[in-house]
Amino acid sequence: MTSPQSTEEPTARSGSAGSTEPGTSAGTAPVAASVPVASSQAPGAIEERALKLLRAAVSVEHAAIWAYGLISAYSAKDADLIRTNRNGHIFRRDAANDRIAAAGGEPVQPRAAYNLPVDVVDVESARQLARIAESDCAKAWRAVVGGTDSPDLRTFALSGLSDSAVRLAMLRKLSKLTPFTTPFPGKTG
Protein backbone atom coordinates (compact mmCIF):
# COMPACT_ATOMS: atom_id res chain seq x y z
CA MET A 1 0.00 0.00 0.00
CA THR A 2 1.39 3.39 -0.88
CA SER A 3 -0.50 5.44 1.69
CA PRO A 4 -0.24 5.51 5.41
CA GLN A 5 -1.42 2.02 6.21
CA SER A 6 -3.05 0.56 9.20
CA THR A 7 -0.99 -1.67 11.41
CA GLU A 8 -3.93 -4.03 10.91
CA GLU A 9 -4.81 -5.10 7.40
CA PRO A 10 -8.03 -3.40 6.24
CA THR A 11 -10.64 -5.51 4.50
CA ALA A 12 -10.48 -3.37 1.36
CA ARG A 13 -8.02 -0.83 0.08
CA SER A 14 -8.96 2.26 -1.33
CA GLY A 15 -10.76 9.28 0.71
CA SER A 16 -11.93 14.66 0.95
CA ALA A 17 -14.11 17.61 0.94
CA GLY A 18 -13.24 20.54 3.03
CA SER A 19 -15.16 23.13 4.81
CA THR A 20 -16.67 25.76 2.64
CA GLU A 21 -14.19 28.25 4.01
CA PRO A 22 -11.27 28.72 1.66
CA GLY A 23 -7.84 28.05 3.08
CA THR A 24 -4.58 29.59 2.07
CA SER A 25 -0.95 28.78 2.38
CA ALA A 26 2.04 30.96 1.80
CA GLY A 27 2.39 31.42 -1.94
CA THR A 28 -0.81 29.59 -2.82
CA ALA A 29 -4.23 30.73 -3.85
CA PRO A 30 -7.27 30.08 -1.67
CA VAL A 31 -8.74 26.60 -1.88
CA ALA A 32 -12.47 26.14 -1.93
CA ALA A 33 -13.47 22.56 -1.27
CA SER A 34 -16.78 21.15 -2.27
CA VAL A 35 -19.47 20.35 0.22
CA PRO A 36 -20.86 16.82 0.37
CA VAL A 37 -24.26 16.50 -1.22
CA ALA A 38 -27.06 15.60 1.16
CA SER A 39 -28.35 12.09 0.67
CA SER A 40 -31.79 11.67 -0.86
CA GLN A 41 -31.72 7.90 -0.37
CA ALA A 42 -33.62 6.15 2.37
CA PRO A 43 -31.54 4.47 5.09
CA GLY A 44 -30.21 1.15 3.86
CA ALA A 45 -30.41 2.21 0.22
CA ILE A 46 -26.66 1.91 -0.40
CA GLU A 47 -25.96 -1.28 -2.31
CA GLU A 48 -23.65 -3.78 -0.58
CA ARG A 49 -20.67 -3.39 -2.94
CA ALA A 50 -20.87 0.41 -2.75
CA LEU A 51 -21.11 0.27 1.05
CA LYS A 52 -17.93 -1.81 1.17
CA LEU A 53 -16.15 0.70 -1.08
CA LEU A 54 -17.46 3.61 0.99
CA ARG A 55 -16.15 1.98 4.17
CA ALA A 56 -12.75 1.51 2.48
CA ALA A 57 -12.74 5.19 1.47
CA VAL A 58 -13.44 6.20 5.07
CA SER A 59 -10.50 4.05 6.19
CA VAL A 60 -8.25 5.92 3.75
CA GLU A 61 -9.64 9.24 4.99
CA HIS A 62 -8.70 8.20 8.55
CA ALA A 63 -5.16 7.46 7.37
CA ALA A 64 -4.94 10.87 5.65
CA ILE A 65 -6.13 12.66 8.79
CA TRP A 66 -3.53 10.81 10.86
CA ALA A 67 -0.82 11.59 8.28
CA TYR A 68 -1.62 15.31 8.29
CA GLY A 69 -1.11 15.32 12.07
CA LEU A 70 2.43 14.07 11.51
CA ILE A 71 2.99 16.34 8.51
CA SER A 72 2.15 19.40 10.59
CA ALA A 73 5.11 18.70 12.88
CA TYR A 74 7.57 18.97 10.00
CA SER A 75 6.05 21.63 7.81
CA ALA A 76 5.15 24.65 9.95
CA LYS A 77 5.38 27.07 7.03
CA ASP A 78 2.61 25.11 5.31
CA ALA A 79 0.38 25.30 8.40
CA ASP A 80 -2.63 26.95 6.72
CA LEU A 81 -2.65 24.51 3.83
CA ILE A 82 -2.16 21.53 6.15
CA ARG A 83 -5.02 22.66 8.40
CA THR A 84 -7.32 23.22 5.41
CA ASN A 85 -6.46 19.82 3.91
CA ARG A 86 -6.84 17.98 7.21
CA ASN A 87 -10.18 19.68 7.92
CA GLY A 88 -11.36 18.67 4.45
CA HIS A 89 -10.59 15.04 5.22
CA ILE A 90 -12.32 15.25 8.59
CA PHE A 91 -15.41 16.74 6.97
CA ARG A 92 -15.49 14.10 4.20
CA ARG A 93 -14.88 11.25 6.66
CA ASP A 94 -17.69 12.42 8.95
CA ALA A 95 -20.12 12.87 6.06
CA ALA A 96 -19.27 9.41 4.71
CA ASN A 97 -19.62 7.82 8.13
CA ASP A 98 -23.03 9.51 8.46
CA ARG A 99 -24.06 7.85 5.19
CA ILE A 100 -22.84 4.48 6.43
CA ALA A 101 -24.81 4.87 9.66
CA ALA A 102 -27.93 5.98 7.75
CA ALA A 103 -27.64 2.80 5.68
CA GLY A 104 -27.65 0.77 8.89
CA GLY A 105 -23.90 0.14 8.94
CA GLU A 106 -21.37 0.67 11.67
CA PRO A 107 -19.26 3.83 11.16
CA VAL A 108 -15.61 3.12 10.41
CA GLN A 109 -13.28 3.79 13.34
CA PRO A 110 -9.66 4.93 12.96
CA ARG A 111 -6.69 2.74 13.75
CA ALA A 112 -4.35 3.65 16.59
CA ALA A 113 -1.45 4.12 14.18
CA TYR A 114 -0.55 3.66 10.53
CA ASN A 115 2.56 2.42 8.73
CA LEU A 116 4.12 5.11 6.58
CA PRO A 117 5.20 4.60 2.96
CA VAL A 118 8.04 7.13 3.43
CA ASP A 119 10.28 8.15 6.30
CA VAL A 120 9.21 11.64 7.31
CA VAL A 121 12.33 13.52 8.39
CA ASP A 122 11.96 17.01 6.88
CA VAL A 123 9.61 19.38 5.06
CA GLU A 124 9.95 17.71 1.66
CA SER A 125 9.35 14.19 2.99
CA ALA A 126 6.32 15.55 4.88
CA ARG A 127 5.02 17.03 1.63
CA GLN A 128 5.67 13.71 -0.10
CA LEU A 129 3.54 11.95 2.52
CA ALA A 130 0.77 14.51 1.95
CA ARG A 131 0.90 13.86 -1.83
CA ILE A 132 0.68 10.11 -1.24
CA ALA A 133 -2.26 10.55 1.13
CA GLU A 134 -4.12 12.70 -1.42
CA SER A 135 -3.38 10.25 -4.22
CA ASP A 136 -4.68 7.35 -2.13
CA CYS A 137 -7.84 9.29 -1.23
CA ALA A 138 -8.42 10.02 -4.91
CA LYS A 139 -8.09 6.29 -5.69
CA ALA A 140 -10.54 5.39 -2.93
CA TRP A 141 -13.17 7.90 -4.04
CA ARG A 142 -12.72 6.93 -7.69
CA ALA A 143 -13.51 3.34 -6.70
CA VAL A 144 -16.74 4.50 -5.04
CA VAL A 145 -17.69 6.53 -8.13
CA GLY A 146 -17.34 3.42 -10.29
CA GLY A 147 -18.84 1.05 -7.75
CA THR A 148 -22.30 2.48 -7.25
CA ASP A 149 -25.47 2.87 -9.27
CA SER A 150 -26.71 5.63 -6.95
CA PRO A 151 -26.45 9.08 -8.55
CA ASP A 152 -26.42 10.64 -5.08
CA LEU A 153 -23.54 8.50 -3.79
CA ARG A 154 -21.68 8.89 -7.09
CA THR A 155 -21.96 12.70 -6.80
CA PHE A 156 -20.72 12.56 -3.21
CA ALA A 157 -17.76 10.36 -4.19
CA LEU A 158 -16.95 12.48 -7.24
CA SER A 159 -16.76 15.49 -4.94
CA GLY A 160 -14.27 13.59 -2.77
CA LEU A 161 -12.23 12.62 -5.82
CA SER A 162 -12.20 16.20 -7.09
CA ASP A 163 -11.18 17.62 -3.73
CA SER A 164 -8.27 15.21 -3.44
CA ALA A 165 -7.16 15.98 -6.99
CA VAL A 166 -7.14 19.72 -6.26
CA ARG A 167 -5.20 19.25 -3.03
CA LEU A 168 -2.71 16.98 -4.81
CA ALA A 169 -2.16 19.61 -7.50
CA MET A 170 -1.56 22.29 -4.88
CA LEU A 171 0.94 20.08 -3.06
CA ARG A 172 2.76 19.30 -6.31
CA LYS A 173 2.94 23.02 -7.07
CA LEU A 174 4.24 23.74 -3.58
CA SER A 175 7.03 21.20 -4.14
CA LYS A 176 7.67 22.59 -7.64
CA LEU A 177 6.85 19.25 -9.27
CA THR A 178 5.63 19.40 -12.83
CA PRO A 179 3.15 18.85 -14.15
CA PHE A 180 1.09 20.17 -11.26
CA THR A 181 -1.92 18.09 -12.25
CA THR A 182 -2.16 14.43 -13.08
CA PRO A 183 -4.39 13.05 -15.81
CA PHE A 184 -7.29 10.96 -14.54
CA PRO A 185 -6.75 11.46 -10.78
CA GLY A 186 -7.22 8.30 -8.78
CA LYS A 187 -6.60 6.00 -11.73
CA THR A 188 -4.36 3.06 -10.90
CA GLY A 189 -1.96 1.53 -13.35
Q: Is residue 50 part of a domain?
A: yes
Mean pLDDT of 88-108: 97
Q: Is residue 27 part of a domain?
A: no
Q: Is residue 23 part of a domain?
A: no
The domain total for the chain is 1
More confident residue, 21 or 185: 185
Residue type, 82: I
Q: Is residue 182 part of a domain?
A: no
pLDDT at site 42: 52
- The rounded distance, in Å, linking the Cα atoms of 177 and 41 is 41
Mean pLDDT of 126-133: 97
pLDDT tens-place string over residues 101-119: 999 999 999 999 999 999 9
Q: Is residue 183 part of a domain?
A: no
- Give, in order, the Cα–Cα distances in Å from 166 to each of 14, 65, 158: 18, 17, 12
Nearest residue to 25 (alpha-carbon basis) of 68, 67, 66: 68
- Note down the domain range covering 131: 5-18+42-174
Share of the chain above pLDDT 70, in %: 76
Nearest residue to 151 (alpha-carbon basis) of 44, 72, 39, 27: 39
Q: Is residue 179 part of a domain?
A: no
- Where in 135-174 does DSSP place strands (E)? none
Q: Is 14 helix (H, G, I), strand (E, B) or coil?
A: coil
- Is the pTM higher than 0.85? The answer reads no
Q: Is residue 98 part of a domain?
A: yes
More confident residue, 173 or 34: 173
pLDDT at site 181: 84
pLDDT tens-place string over residues 38-75: 444 454 579 999 999 999 999 999 999 999 999 999 98
Q: What is the DSSP string of 148-173?
A: ---HHHHHHHHHHHHHHHHHHHHHHH
Q: Is residue 33 part of a domain?
A: no
CATH number at residue 106: 1.20.1260.10
Average pLDDT, the chain: 82
Grade residue 188 by pLDDT with cuts at 50, 70 and 90. Answer: confident
Residues in the chain: 189
